[in-house]
Chains A and B, each alone.
Chain A
Amino acid sequence: MSSVLSLNKTRSRWLTFGLLALGLALLPFLVDAGLGRSWVRLLDLALLYVILALGLNIVVGYAGLLDLGYVAFYALGAYVYAWLSSPHFGLHLPFWAVLPLGAALAALFGVLLGAPTLRLRGDYLAIVTLGFGEIIRIFLNNLNAPVNITNGPQGINLIDPVRLGSFDLSQSHALFGYTFTGIHLTYYLFLLFTLMVIFISMRLEDSRIGRAWVAIREDEIAAAATGINTRNLKLLAFAMGATFGGLAGGLFASFQGFISPESFNLMESIMILCMIVLGGMGHIPGVIFGAVVLTLLPEALRYTGDWQRNLFGQIYIDPADLRMLLFGVALVAVMLYRPAGLLPSTRRRREFADAQG
């Protein structure tokens, strides 16, 4: 009886998995046909933000360290990619070498920045990381003289797209009788990395390391008294989060072909924070949900412009300006009314099932 049941369970699990894979594979074509090409681009960005949000989720959601300078690692990954793969220094290293390098450098910086600050209490840490983020941005903006390292506010242009041998991912290609445009191909590349990051996050969550992080978040003193080396594990969380940030940065640079300090301001950090708070801190499906919704939000908000025109005959509030306001309201509202996020954690559900069974 139970074996039949478990067999059914495995089969349905594979079925779900297969459907999900099929859906993800077809998604860009469905979106392209239904909503237009600009939405496929948005889809690519959404995947990028899923990576970023899952990275920050390790630091904030698991280990409970409020990092407001997360965007610094994102910037680092992007600039490393731009330096090594653009005419700026005349270097054109392949992406499979540059991407890991950027991620590793970001991890190293995560440890370097984390080491002196991790003794601080939560709210101080928030301010200090915010300060670090701002320092990095100020340096990016000003390190164009006397030696031109970052090219200042103009940023770095003509960054190489991802190339596999002679296969340029930013161009259209005819494969299996279909034409795949650059943004479609990028989708699959990003999807690959996103799935990898989700996989790593899931495995870590349900492991000795993940439990230690959550223990630190819940009660740092009790965690230390239970044998956890809190300093090392916090540093590890910082490094892991920074790795994902650096990775996303490299992907972003290759995708855009252009980066400037403007893309890495505090509001970006806050938006990523918003994603995990909205979806549910420390809860992977929630974080993914939050990242996707908030990436698509500005596009959806565009419709408010049409409504305004229909209702009042003119646009009073630029939809783009509405975005940050809504983020602010969302942060407050979620904390007040649904502190666990919009997607309740499986743990709650597990408990519920437990109580029933």
Chain B
Amino acid sequence: MSAPKAAPSPSGKLDAGSTPLLTVSGVSKAFGGLQALSDISLQVHTGEIFGLIGPNGAGKTTLFNALTGLYSINHGEIRLYGRRIDGRKPHQVLHAGLARTFQNIRLFAEMTALENVLVGRHARTTSGVVGAVLRLPGTRREEADSRERSHALLKRVGIAQHAHRLAKNLPYGDQRRLEIARALATEPRLLALDEPAAGMNPAERAALRELLLQLQADGLTLLLIEHDVKLVMGLCTRLAVLDYGVKIAEGTPDVVSRDPKVIAAYLGDETL
């Protein structure tokens, strides 16, 4: 029941009264004897870019999987806009407004880029078999709208020229961007990105940074796992640091980077 470090750091961008968008309280997850997450609590507020960092194996991706319904948790609760999302199925979590990308890109390889984004529209559209077969007016409108939005999203992440290429044939960096476009197509309130810059060259990283800042400016809240410390420090409003499944620090980048526990955790790890 110890919250190691209270987060008293409403940085300039955040007003004190902002609603917590995501509330994680006391979440634990064990695999057999391995405690992957122990009593994790944190809050992500509307409009911020919240970073999740920590050495390899610290439990960041496990936390992501728990948040998005891929893992069931053993203890604690997770709320999005005050509504419980733990114990829900992945598609229900997405419906509630939490979309994600994967560390090891998981696109639909044999579908085109456009189709990948169109799949993202699935959750926000409703037409069924009858509508599809008869091409009812409602379905046609919906389909046209989905296509328009999807093209716009491809353009927005900068890969409009690849719309009709199979996802598996896109360059690596573009695959990451396509995953973001697919997640955006689901109209999330909170977008969780698992190492979006991994494998990108400096130019691609810069473009990604721009994109994320734009998304934030448009009112989207971001949760970010990232190893690129420069990117994290420059981008995030606040950070939480995980080590061996425990949250060892939380706060603004400034505060966190000076935390002795964090420095100890990263000792010998060249990334900090």
B106 interface contact, C-beta 8 A: yes
Interface centre among A200, A219, A225 (most CB of B within 10 A): A225
Query: A350 vs B120: C-alpha distance in the bound complex, in angstroms?
Result: 22
Would A222 and B102 count as touching, CB distance under 8 A? yes
In the assembled complex, the CB of A346 is this many whole angstroms from the nearest CB of chain B, namely 12
Q: A172: CB under 8 A from chain B?
A: no
Query: In the complex, what distance in Å separates the CA atom of A226 from the CA atom of B69?
Result: 12
Q: Is the CB of A224 within 8 A of B91?
A: yes
Interface positions, chain A 212-265, Cβ under 8 Å from B, are 212, 214-215, 218-219, 221-230, 236, 240
In the complex, which residue of chain B has the Cβ closest to the Cβ of A357?
B164
Chain B interface, number of residues (Cβ within 8 angstroms): 46
Interface segment out of the listed B43-51, B79-87, B128-136: B128-136
CB distance from A118 to the nearest CB of B (A): 14
A20 at the interface (CB under 8 A from B): no
Chain A nearest CB: distance from B13 CB in Å?
A: 29
Question: Which of A211, A240, A351 contacts B122, CB < 8 Å?
Answer: A211
List chain A residues, Cβ under 8 A from B143. 207-208
A137 to B251, CA, bound (A): 66
Q: Is A204 a contact of B132 with CB atoms below 8 Å?
A: yes
How long is the Cα–Cα vector from A224 to B89 in the complex, in angstroms? Answer: 8
Interface residues of B in 138-172 (CB under 8 A from A): 139, 142-143, 146, 164-166, 169
The answer to the question of B189 belonging to the interface, with a C-beta cut-off of 8 Å to chain A, is: no
B204 at the interface (CB under 8 A from A): no
B111 interfacial contact with A, CB 8 Å = yes
Shortest Cβ distance from residue B37 to the other chain A in the assembled complex, whole angstroms? 19
Query: Are A351 and B164 in contact (CB-based, < 8 A)?
Result: yes
Residue numbers in B under 8 Å from A199 (CB-CB): 133
Q: Give how many A-B residue pairs fall within 8 Å (CB-CB).
A: 115
Evaluate contact between A354 and B129: CB separation under 8 angstroms: no
Question: Which residue of the partner chain, among B69, B99, B108, B134, contacts A219 with CB atoms under 8 Å?
Answer: B108
When the two chains form the complex, which single residue of A210, A214, A230, A354 contacts B108, counting CB atoms closer than 8 Å?
A214
Q: Beyond A200-B133, A351-B165, is A227–B120 a contact (Cβ under 8 Å)?
A: yes
Q: How far apart are the CA atoms of A214 and B100 in the complex, in Å?
A: 20
* Complex CA–CA separation, A117 to B63 (angstroms): 29
- In this complex, the member of A208, A224, A351, A355 whose beta carbon has the largest number of chain B beta carbons within 10 angstroms is A208
Min CB–CB distance A348 → chain B (angstroms)? 8
The B77-121 residues at the A interface (CB cut-off 8 A) are 89-91, 94-95, 99-100, 102, 106-112, 115, 118-121
* Residue A309 lies at the interface, judged by CB distance under 8 Å to chain B: no
Interface status of B182 (Cβ within 8 A of chain A)? yes
Chain A CB within 10 Å, residue with most, of B102, B122, B183: B122
A209 at the interface (CB under 8 A from B): yes
Q: Is B214 on the interface with A (CB-CB < 8 A)?
A: no
In the assembled complex, A121 has its CB within 8 A of some CB on chain B: no
Report A-chain residues with C-beta under 8 Å of the C-beta of B182. Answer: 226
B9 CB-CB contact with A under 8 Å: no
Cβ of B235: which chain A residues have Cβ within 8 Å of it? none
Report the separation of the CA atoms of residues A207 and B135 in the bound assembly, to the nearest whole angstrom. 9
How many angstroms from the CA of A236 to the CA of B100 in the assembled complex?
A: 26
CB-defined contacts of A214 to chain B, threshold 8 Å: 108, 110-111, 115
Q: Mark B17-47 against chain A: 1 for CB-CB distance below 8 A, else 0.
A: 0000000000000000000000000000000
Q: Which of B123, B129, B142, B165 contacts A209 (CB 8 A)?
A: B129
User: In the assembled complex, which residues on chain A have CB atoms less than 8 Å from the CB atom of B90?
Assistant: 221, 224-225
User: Are the C-beta atoms of A218 and B108 separated by less than 8 Å?
Assistant: yes
Other-chain contact of B111, A200, A215, A227, A354 (Cβ < 8 Å): A215
Whether A354 pairs with B164 at a CB distance below 8 angstroms is: yes
Q: Is there a chain B Cβ closer than 8 Å to A203's Cβ?
A: yes
A222 to B112, CA, bound (A): 15
- Give the contacting residue for A226; candidates B110, B125, B186; CB below 8 A: B186
Chain B residues contacting A221 (CB-CB under 8 Å) are 70, 90, 106
A221 to B102, CA, bound (A): 10
Verify B166–A204 contact, CB threshold 8 A: no
B11 within 8 A of A: no
Q: CA separation between A221 and B91, bound complex, in Å?
A: 10
Contact A229 B91 (CB under 8 A): yes
B68 in the interface, Cβ–Cβ < 8 Å?
yes
CA distance A203 to B94 in the complex (A): 27
Q: Which residues of A contact B (CB under 8 A)?
A: 199-200, 203-204, 207-212, 214-215, 218-219, 221-230, 236, 240, 347, 350-351, 354-355
10 closest A-B pairs by CB: A227-B123, A207-B132, A222-B106, A218-B108, A224-B90, A227-B94, A215-B119, A203-B133, A354-B164, A229-B91
Q: Would you list 26 pairs from A and B whose C-beta atoms are within 8 A, ordered by A residue?
A: A200-B133, A203-B135, A207-B139, A208-B125, A209-B127, A209-B129, A211-B122, A214-B108, A215-B108, A218-B107, A218-B111, A221-B106, A222-B102, A222-B108, A224-B69, A224-B70, A224-B91, A225-B102, A226-B99, A227-B95, A228-B122, A229-B89, A230-B91, A236-B129, A350-B112, A354-B164
